[in-house]
Structure 1
Amino acid sequence: MLVAAGSALMSGAGLLSARAALRAGSGLVSWAQPASAVPGLRGFAPEIMLRAVPDDGAGEWRQVNPERLAEATANADALVVGPGMGRWDGDGAWLRVVLERVQAPVLVDADALNMIADAGPRHGVWPRRGAPTVITPHPGEMARLAGMTVPEAQRDRIGLARDYAATHAVTVVLKGARTVVASPDGRAFVNTTGNPGMATGGAGDALAGIIGSLLGQGLDALEAAACGVYWHGLAGDRAAALRPQAASLIAGDIIEAL
């Protein structure tokens, strides 16, 4: 699978997603970055292959032609896009090109979700892809996608996730306490694993890598999302049990407990 994530100030997001994908069973994981940023990432995790995507020298995603990123997925079984990627003018149009061109299943997370949300009502006519699409918003991102406040989004989490999944033909993972997973056909699951210590930076990046890994291993979108959320929470529970306080849990602990 391929992870397109991270930026100069948030490179850890891509690293966490890629490491989680490996621990979740992917045989080969590549981490795509703007070419100029790649030298500084060498050696972070020797098990992960670095994939340099041509840029203009500053090592930022805004300089990467989205067609080149899509081409980098040619041999990938799944793509994770968005964690720690950053934002820039025109990023919504950039992401649309990626989603239109990539033929593999795609998991859309974090900054990529906000690119879609900022497209406003237009995001409802974004491409309906031939391959599965999974989105993994936290309540704030879900509220922006749905054009409502966070309290409104939290009022009926199952209903909102189901409605959004059906309307936009995507599988929705609405994160939070008792994460909701909903598919376009109306099926929905509520997760029972996890603990408050998992409200820590990078935990969502790890979840993206886990679900992306399962997509790449051939599970359908709903199976990958529901299983990935369950594994993520169970690993968090195992990791928390080894700590004197769950509050000391970090994302790397979750990955190592998979």
Structure 2
Amino acid sequence: MSQSAKQVWDSCIYSAEEERDFVRDYLGPTLHEQGLQHIKLVCWDHNRAEAYDRAQKMFDDKLASQYVYGIGIHWYMGDNYQNLKLINDVYPDKKIWFTEGRQENGPHLGDWNVGERYAHSMINDINHNTSAWCDWNLFLDETGGPNHVNNLCSAPIIADTVNDEVIINPSYYYFGHFSKFIEKGAKRIAVCTTTDNIEATGFINPNGEKVIIVCNNSENHLTYALHNIDKGCYISMLPRSIQTIIV
């Protein structure tokens, strides 16, 4: 059963049916009447765990569905990547966007595990048909704020306002393996692995270059064979590391 997102900060509580009816009967028609139909509406905007149920309620209603571009997801209740595949299988014309992810409980300075959390989410969200991925906040202060309800978080970049310094967290570098090399207009390509110790995804950029992102989640040095059609090579990886290969 789908649950609403009730928070201690500013929020609206909509059941799946209420959200559907509001879009169908009010928001969607109003945007069209005002010539704003180019605005992309994304429903749900919460955890993957309940994303399919919310998608089903919205997209099975043809009148509501016509106004909605896709569905937004977060990472807080677990991986649940199979739900994203199911949404794409049943509603292939709808987009899936990762609209929020954050490391809870303060800045986590220098914590490489947070970087791995980013990579794990991005690789698997992308591989399960997510077409956009957005951080909660890229830049926060030394407390993990500011925040009016003390919901303090980490971020790739921390501004130390006490010492007038900028601190780059490991998640910044993990994020860069995706944002620096996957270009606008890139298309995802098939990438498969033969071990659970490696997670990988790949894209082909508009200029034809292929970008393969590989994450070693194990405590071991690994050597893997990269096969690209009729070519290949062996590549070594340090424990708990990430690589981007451009071919």
TM-score by length of 1: 0.33
From the two aligned structures, give the one with the greater strand fraction: 2
When Rg is computed on C-alpha atoms for both structures, the one with the higher figure is 2
From the two aligned structures, give the one with the greater helix fraction: 1
